[in-house]
Each structure stands twice: as structure tokens, then as C-alpha cells.
Amino acid sequence: MKVDVSRKRPDPSPASQTESVPGPTAQGAAPPPLEARNLGRRFGRRWVVRDLSFQVPRGSVTALLGRNGVGKSTTIQLLLGLLDPSEGEARAFGADPRRLRADLFRRTGYVSERRELLEDQSVEGLARIVAELHGPRFDRERFEDLRRRYELDPQARCKTLSKGQRARLLLALALAPSPELLVLDEPTSGLDVLVRDDFLAGIAEAAAEEDRAVLLSSHLIDDVARICDRAVILREGRPPLCGDLEALRASCSRYLVRLKGVLPASASLPLPADAVLLERDPRALTLVAQGACEHLEAELDACLPVAELERRPATLKEAFACLSAPAQGGAS
């Protein structure tokens, strides 16, 4: 079954590139499936996540982006009540997720990064357990369709499944109860290209159904670009960015700076604060930067021996490199 995964969904909230909490969604009084309000969590003295505020509205596919160790999985666990926040609060369907617990996971499908299963169970046995826990919401026919599509042997033991098979089994189990919210934590990491395409197609299909909200955590920008319409970018030491994916991309520009003369490899580069160096050779630099072009060009002229400056729109990958950079900036 061929699925057009490049289809973009309409943005339910206005395109924004603000660091503030988005306003109420088009659903009016209906609370968003997931919401973070000044959410923070620390382990010991180290803050992993702090000042996190965003929503995952219904009918959207929201990407949770960030570099390694920036707290994507921790954020998901906070939002689902699997971790207690150190400050702020998480809301799921308008309530404290720690109180909802069983009800929350009745309405939520979750594919974890570690892809835990009941190792001693067969695919069929595991489905039977999950079906009993979900009750009538669990659609056995749908699960069987997904299982066949994902080529999972019903008698296979979970401990014998490959990484990709485990991910597909988890997705099938998550989708069978028709959840209102789908949370996917690095679902495609470690998968080969073909499996990943198939997996993404499944997610895109699920996202297109009903009024489902999807939160996808990934560091694979290509995956995000194919199926997401919104993004939350976690940044180390800086407030997260939240908004429409295209708007986030458009907020960044790529600069090719041709230099006068040759720049020694060991020479330091006094770059503007918002600029991130992508490539460097002795006669040219490739930068990506966020903000007003005129202002940045003036700053570059002031700090570098610029011979020629060429600007063009940044790709999503380049924009991510710029937007997810730590507070100090300048490092690639």
C-alpha cells in the first residue's frame, strides 16, 4: 500500500516562532492531549529540562527535536506521568497525568525508545494481554491487519524479534486500540531504510486518522520533515522553540561567506551570537543563522574579512542545526 508521506497537514495553530505558550487551539474548550507548563526536571543538581512550555494539539503531528542528551525522552516521560516533574506541571487531556495513569494509557499509544516488551511472550500472547488490558477498545482485526502488514509471525517470541520487528509490533499494539494520542520516542532509530519507510508510512496513516495527536521524538530530520507539521526544539541552556515546522525552517538562512585571503585553520572565528558554523575551509565559511538578514550581514562584515556574502533559505536540517545549538552558539 503506497502512502504519500510527504503530505503536510494544516497547521492548527498560527505559525509562530515564539518562545511563549501557544494560545488555545481551534478546539476551544477541549484541552490539548498534552501540555507542558514551565515544566522542569533535574537529576541531582543537573537540570535536564527546564522552562518547557508547549502544547501538542489534536490533529497535529508534533516533532520533539533536540540534540542527544537534551532531554527528549525525559520530556515524554514527564508528559506521560512516568516521571515526577521537579518544577512546573504536565497536563494530559487536561489533567495531571500521574493521576490519570491507567486512563491515560487507555487513550494513548506509546512506542518507547527502548522498545520494551514482555520477552517471554509470543506476539499473539502479548496481543492477548494488551487486548485484555484495553478491553473492547482494542480492535483485534486491526491488530491482525497491522501484524500481517508488518510481517510479524504470531508465534514468534518477543525475545527473538529484531529491533525493527519490535518497533513494528509496538506500533501495531499502540494503534490497535485507536488511541487519541500517539507518542513515539525515537521510533525509527536503528531501522534500515526500507523498514523505516514502512514504519513512517504507518505513522502517517495513523496521524491522518480521526483527530489524533501525534508526538514524535526524533533526531532524524528527514523523518520529521516527512510527516510532522509542528516542532518543539529543545535546546541546552536555552528556552525551547515551538511552532510550525515550515516557519521554524524559514526563520533561518544559510550564508556562504567568501573571505578575502586565506583563513588559517587554527584561527578563531568571532561569529555573531545567532550564527552557527556549518562548514569551514580556508577561503570560505558556511553559516546558518536565525534572525533579520540585514542585521546579521552587518555583523559578519564587521567581524570577518568578507569578500562576498551569499544568502539562501536554510534547509530543515540546517535550521535544526542553528535552532538547537546550545546557549553559547558558534559550535557546529
Partner 1 sequence: MSRTLWMREVRRLAPFGTGSLLWVYGSRLAYQPPPQGLPEDVFLVPGACLLAPLLLGAISVAPEARTGALAFLRRQPLSLSRQYLVRVTAALAWLLPSWLLLCADSLFAVQAPPPVTNGGPGVWASLWALAFGAGLLASTIAFEALSALFLALAFGLVGSGLLLAADVLVLGMAPLTPQAVALAAFVFAGSALASSYVAFVRGELQHRSVRPLMLGTTCLAGALGLGLLGTAAAQAYTVRAVVAQLPLGGDRSRAGGRLAVSLQGATWAGDEDRVAVFARGGDAPRVLDVRGVRRPVFSPDGGRLLLFDRQRRARWLYDLDRGARAELVARPGTSFDGGEVLWTDAGPLLLAAGSGSLAAFDPRTGESNLASLPKGMRLAGVRPGAHPLVLHDAQRLYAADCPRVPARSEADLAIEPAARLGDGSRSGALSHWAEVVLSPNGRYALCRDRDAARPLVLFDLVTPEAPPRRLPLAAPSAAAPRAAPAPREAVLSIIEDGRTVSRSVERLRLLGTYSYGWDPSERRLALESPGGTVFLFDLESGRRAVLQSGRRSFPGRALAWSPSGRILALPSGAVVDVDSARLLGHAPVYAFLDEERVLLRGHRAAPLSLASALAGGAP
Least distance to partner 1 from the beta carbon of 201, Å?
23
Least distance to partner 1 from the beta carbon of 83, Å?
7
Stretch that binds partner 1, among 7-15, 96-104, 237-245, 321-329 (CB under 8 A): 96-104
∠ CA 83-87-93, rounded to 5°: 60
Residue 232 near residue 241 (C-beta atoms within 8 A): yes
Least distance to partner 1 from the beta carbon of 105, Å?
5
CA–CA separation, 130 and 113 (whole Å): 19
Residue 263 near residue 322 (C-beta atoms within 8 A): no
The torsion defined by the Cα of 226, 228, 230 and 235, in degrees rounded to 10, comes to: -80
Which of 9, 37, 101, 157 contacts partner 1 by CB under 8 A? Answer: 101
CA–CA separation, 58 and 216 (whole Å): 14
Least distance to partner 1 from the beta carbon of 178, Å?
13
Which of 103, 153, 210, 222 contacts partner 1 by CB under 8 A? Answer: 103
Stretch that binds partner 1, among 50-58, 105-113, 194-202, 223-231 (CB under 8 A): 105-113
Nearer to partner 1, 105 or 143 (CB): 105
Does 78 bind partner 1 (CB under 8 A)? Our answer is: no
Least distance to partner 1 from the beta carbon of 112, Å?
7
In the shown chain, the binding pattern of residues 29 to 48 toward partner 1, with x for contact by CB under 8 A and - for none, equals --------------x-----
Does 69 bind partner 1 (CB under 8 A)? Our answer is: no
Which of 118, 262, 292, 307 contacts partner 1 by CB under 8 A? Answer: 118
Which of 7, 27, 38, 116 contacts partner 1 by CB under 8 A? Answer: 116
Does 182 bind partner 1 (CB under 8 A)? Our answer is: no
Which of 133, 262, 303, 327 contacts partner 1 by CB under 8 A? Answer: 133
Nearer to partner 1, 133 or 302 (CB): 133
Least distance to partner 1 from the beta carbon of 195, Å?
21
Does 105 bind partner 1 (CB under 8 A)? Our answer is: yes
Least distance to partner 1 from the beta carbon of 190, Å?
16
Does 143 bind partner 1 (CB under 8 A)? Our answer is: no
Does 156 bind partner 1 (CB under 8 A)? Our answer is: no
Does 130 bind partner 1 (CB under 8 A)? Our answer is: yes
CA–CA separation, 223 and 232 (whole Å): 15
3-state secondary structure the chain: CCCCCCCCCCCCCCCCCCCCCCCCCCCCCCCCCEEEEEEEEEECCEEEEEEEEEEECCCCEEEEEECCCCCHHHHHHHHCCCCCCCEEEEEECCECHHHHCHHHHHHEEEECCCCCCCCCCEHHHHHHHHHHHHHHHCCHHHHHHHHHHCCCCCCCEHHHCCHHHHHHHHHHHHHCCCCCEEEEECCCCCCCHHHHHHHHHHHHHHHHCCCCEEEEECCCHHHHHHHCCEEEEEECCEEEEEEEHHHHHHCEEEEEEEECCCCCCCCCCCCCCCEEEEEEECCEEEEEEECCHHHHHHHHHHHCCEEEEEEEECCHHHHHHHHCCCCCCECC
Least distance to partner 1 from the beta carbon of 106, Å?
4
Stretch that binds partner 1, among 111-119, 189-197, 225-233, 273-281 (CB under 8 A): 111-119
Least distance to partner 1 from the beta carbon of 268, Å?
40
Which of 9, 16, 17, 125 contacts partner 1 by CB under 8 A? Answer: 125
